Amino acid sequence: MLVTSLLPLLSRYSLGVDLIAGPNGTVTLTIIPRKADSKSPTLESSEARPISITATAAEIDAELARGADGALGQLIATRKTLADQIVEQRQADEDAKAAAAEAAKAKSAKTAAAKPPEPTSPPKIQTPTSPPADAKPDQPATLF
């Protein structure tokens, strides 16, 4: 029954299970989600939080027998829904980044096409080689 209850989590995570005997016949069952493989993104802190149940062995068995209607089943379903939302949000974030990069590329290409080409060398200033028409040979040329 335990493995059947954990199947929704096993589809997304690798799970660690810890059983500890407590006082007065109680047992603590702790389920620890981990990354499924090295390619999957890092887990959010809410995803990696262990699930812990402390009760008698009979109470834990009864709760697990309830399946999806039990507390563990509902918690797992809620976590799966939240994990799906996180995946969707990450994908939307990546899509938005890609769209913004494309828009920036298109804008820079548009402004580069609208700009006139820069001259490669400074314009040459032509200096007169002959004296002005009103210049007198016995007086120096002035700028005024």
pLDDT tens over the chain, length 144 residues: 677 777 777 777 788 889 999 998 999 989 888 877 767 667 666 677 888 889 998 888 888 777 777 777 777 777 778 777 888 888 999 999 999 999 888 888 777 776 666 666 666 676 666 666 777 777 776 665
Whole-number pLDDT of residue 3: 79
Whole-number pLDDT of residue 98: 92
Domain count, the chain: 1
- Whether 113 maps to a domain, the answer reads no
CA quadruple 57, 62, 63, 64: dihedral sign = positive
- Its pTM stands at 0.50
- Whether 32 maps to a domain, the answer reads yes
- Whether 18 maps to a domain, the answer reads yes
How many other CB atoms are there within 10 angstroms of residue 94's CB atom?
A: 10
Whole-number pLDDT of residue 76: 73
Quote the CA–CA distance of 87 and 141 in Å, as a whole number.
83
- Whether 117 maps to a domain, the answer reads no
- Whether 48 maps to a domain, the answer reads yes
Whole-number pLDDT of residue 27: 94
- Whether 50 maps to a domain, the answer reads yes
Facing residues of 18 across strands?
Answer: 30
For residue 24, give its domain range.
2-93
- Whether 102 maps to a domain, the answer reads no
